[in-house]
Amino acid sequence: MKKNIFFAFILTVFLVACTNAEELQTTPTLDATRLKETAISLVIADLTKTQAAIPTRTPTSTSTSTPIPTIDRTRPPIFTPTGEISCNKAKAGNPIDITISDDTVMDPGKAFSKTWRLENIGSCTWTRLYSVVFFSGNSLGARYTHSLQQPVEPGQMVDITVDMVAPNEIGLFQSNWMLSDSGGELFGIGPHGDAPFWVRIEVVRMMESSPTPTPSTTPAPVIQVAGSTALGNDDQLDLDRGMLNPESENEADLLYHYRPGNAPLHRLSPINGARWAAVGTTAPNLTACRQAGLSSDSLNFDEIPFGTYFCYQTSKSLYGWFYIEGFGDGKLTINFLTWATP
């Protein structure tokens, strides 16, 4: 029984295998080359039909281009405004020192003439009512005011001469001067026309030739600055340089107040750390001023203490002395001397 079943199964499998083999032999085989040629032919045919269906159009220009205008980039001319020229303004000549150059060495008491060369660069003529006036420092024995000898037109130069005398003291001395118009307004040189011009000399005592010179054990102190100035109400004085109303208030050492009708009439105040003290009616030396009991108290007075000497120490710690010479036209005149040695 089992053998019959096995033979029947084998027969069935054989019959199925033969049937499939016949079917495989009857199925046509596709040629790849022919398939590719057939596909390309169909695509070309479809493309030809499509191109034939699209009408051919001639392109027509629909707009006309307009040229862009060229922008003018030429820069307009630059006009420089013309500044107004000051009426009174001076310029240093070339050279300004015709005689007595800076730091000229001189004997004590020697007379000399200082000549400056200035140019009128203002818009006004310097008439004979104009003058050169002492401004600050040491006047060196010169008159305070010297009228011009001839008119000076704008653009012209003038030589101005002032007669002076070297002090009897040893030291370096500077005398500052400015120009004054007919109304008393001061002007000078520099970028703003407000700087003074000056003469500076060094006074030395010439040693006589001697085979056995005697050495000096105590050299004379060097003078920093000495001179005379007139103080008006609220004027300040820099005693280190002898400069009236310096540009920086921090450089001033002395302030003067004058109040007519009020008590006290006059007040001298030390400022910026300066100190002073009254020492008598004779000029003190450096040692005496160093030993004086200096204070920062103001000096208040109704009557002028003419001829009284005051020792002082400036804001830069230099010693010196001043005394009140006189009072007139609302101005207090003092003489002063500052030593260069602190």
pLDDT tens digit string along 227-267?
Answer: 888 999 999 999 998 889 998 889 899 999 888 877 778 88
244 and 185 belong to one structural domain: no
From the list 177, 163, 170, the residue with the least C-alpha distance to 202 is 170
Within 13 A of 63's CA, how many CA atoms are on the CB side? Answer: 3
Is residue 333 within 8 A of residue 228, CB to CB? The reply is: yes
229 and 337 belong to one structural domain: yes
Instruction: Please give the tally of structural domains in the chain.
Output: 2
Range of the domain at 234: 221-342
232 and 149 belong to one structural domain: no
- Residue 191 tokens read as 């970028």
Residue-level pLDDT at 67:
45
Higher pLDDT, 261 or 174: 174
Higher pLDDT, 80 or 325: 325
Residue 252 lies in a domain: yes
Mean pLDDT, to the nearest integer, of 309-324? 92
166 and 270 belong to one structural domain: no
226 and 341 belong to one structural domain: yes
pLDDT tens readout for residues 181-218: 999 999 999 888 899 999 999 999 765 545 555 555 55
238 and 184 belong to one structural domain: no
Residue 49 lies in a domain: no
Percent of the chain with pLDDT over 90: 46
Residue-level pLDDT at 72:
39
Residue-level pLDDT at 214:
56
Three-state DSSP at 195 gives strand
Higher pLDDT, 17 or 100: 100
- Listed in sequence order, the DSSP H helices in 151-281 are none
Mean pLDDT, to the nearest integer, of 322-331? 85
Residue 214 lies in a domain: no
Percent of the chain with pLDDT over 70: 71
User: pLDDT averaged over the chain?
Assistant: 79
264 and 327 belong to one structural domain: yes
Neighbours of 124 (CB within 10 A): 17
Residue-level pLDDT at 103:
92
Assign residue 184 the CATH number of its domain.
2.60.40.10
CB neighbour class for 238 (10 Å; exposed up to 12, middle 13-18, buried from 19): buried
Residue 10 lies in a domain: no
Mean pLDDT, to the nearest integer, of 34-41? 54
